[in-house]
Structure 1
C-alpha cells in the first residue's frame, strides 16, 4: 500500500514559535509607545494568520483599527528580522519527520504564516528538506480554515490519500472542510478542549505520531 501523504501545520504543531512572535509584537508596540503584552496573551492570538493576530493586538491594546495595515507590515518586518531566534521544534519532531520520510510518506506544509517567513524558519531549523511543498498564508487568496490551501498541498504532492496534522481549532476546521482525516497534536496553541475538536486521532508527544497515523483508515 502506498504511504499516505502527510500535510503538517507549522506554528504550534512542528515548532513552538510563540516566543519569536511575542518578541515581534513587543517591538511593534514599543514603536507605538506601548508596553509589551505577556506571552500567554500573544500566544492566544496565534492561529488565523498575521493580519488577524495584529487585529487582536490592536483591539486588546486600544489602538485605532485604521492603523491595522501599517502595524501588520511593522510586525511582519520585526518578525522577519529574526524569525527563528527563539523558535525551536517540539521534542522529537526531527526524528519523527526523518522516520516518516524514510518510510516513503510525501510531506507538505500548510500554514497561515506568510510563506517567506515560513520557509525561512524551516531553513533555519533544518526542517526544509522534509517539505518540498509549502503553502503559506499569502500563497493563495484565502487562508485556513478555507480548505483551498490544504487542497493545494494535496494536489502538489500528487493527490493521493492524505492526513492533516495540526494543533488548533483552525486546523481541525480545515481538515473537516477538506474532508481529510485530522491528527491532533494536543500540546500546541489550541484553546478548545480536545474532546470538542473533531479529530481522527490525537497525540501528545511526537514519538507517538507514527503509531497514531497507523490507526487511521484511508480506505
Structure 2
C-alpha cells in the first residue's frame, strides 16, 4: 500500500501566528482589552478557535462569559478571513518535500484543529491545497488529541493506519498520533509549549530535508 503522511498545519507546515495575532488583536481592541505579543499568541494556538479565544481573554483580563464565546469566535474569524495570509509564510523546505513525497506515490493529508473553513482559505492563499488528498479541520467532532481525528483523515485519504506517519509540533499532535496507533515525527520549530525533546515523539527533526529519512526508519 502507498505511504500516507498526515501533517499538522500551524507551526508544522506554516507559520501563521502573525496573522492569528493580528486578527486576535483587532478583536481585543474592539473589546478594550490589551494587545498580545507574538510570543504570547504562539503559546495560545494549537487546539482550535474556542480555546484560543478563552485563553486570550484569560490572558488579558476577566475570562469570557460562556455565552459570549461563540460570538467572539465568529468576530475573530471574520477578521482572520479578511487577512488570512498577509504575514503567514510556509516553512523552508515544505514545498520541495510535498512535491517529492507525491512524486514517490505517497498520499498526503492535513489534520488540524484550525476551523475547516479557515484552513481552506489559508491553504488556497498559500497555493498548498493541491498537494493534499484530504484536509480535516477542527470542526471534526473528535478533534486532536483524540486519535479519531487522524484516523478520519486517513479514511478520507483512502489510506490505512499501518501505512501512515503523522508529523506535528506539539504535545496535542503526539497524543493524537499515539491514540491513533501510528508513529509520529515532531518538528522543533513550531509552537510547542514545552521543550520539544519532552514531547517523546518517535523522531525529532530540525528541517524538512530530514523527514524522508525519518519516515523511512519508521515505515521501512
TM-score calculated relative to the size of structure 2: 0.94
3-state DSSP of counterpart to 1:30: helix
Query: Tell me, which stretches of 5 or more residues in structure 1 are unaligned?
Result: none
3-state DSSP of counterpart to 1:77: helix
Residue deviations 1:90-129 (CA, integer Å, cap 9, x gap): 0110011100110110011100000111111111111111
- Give the C-alpha shift of residue 211 in structure 1: 1.4
- Give the C-alpha shift of residue 33 in structure 1: 1.6
| 1:37-56 equivalences in 2 (<5 Å) | 37-56=36-55
| 1:132-147 equivalences in 2 (<5 Å) | 132-138=133-139, 140-147=140-147
3-state DSSP of counterpart to 1:137: coil
Indicate the residue corresponding to 2:170 in structure 1: 168
Indicate the residue corresponding to 1:123 in structure 2: 124
| 1:181-200 equivalences in 2 (<5 Å) | 181-200=183-202
| 1:92-111 equivalences in 2 (<5 Å) | 92-111=93-112
Query: Tell me, which stretches of 5 or more residues in structure 2 are unaligned?
Result: none
Cα distance in structure 2, aligned partners of 1:59 and 1:194: 25
Runs of 4+ in structure 1 over 3 Å off = none
- What is the alpha-carbon root mean square deviation over aligned residues? 1.2
Cα distance in structure 2, aligned partners of 1:64 and 1:194: 29
Question: What is the count of residue pairs matched by the alignment?
Answer: 216
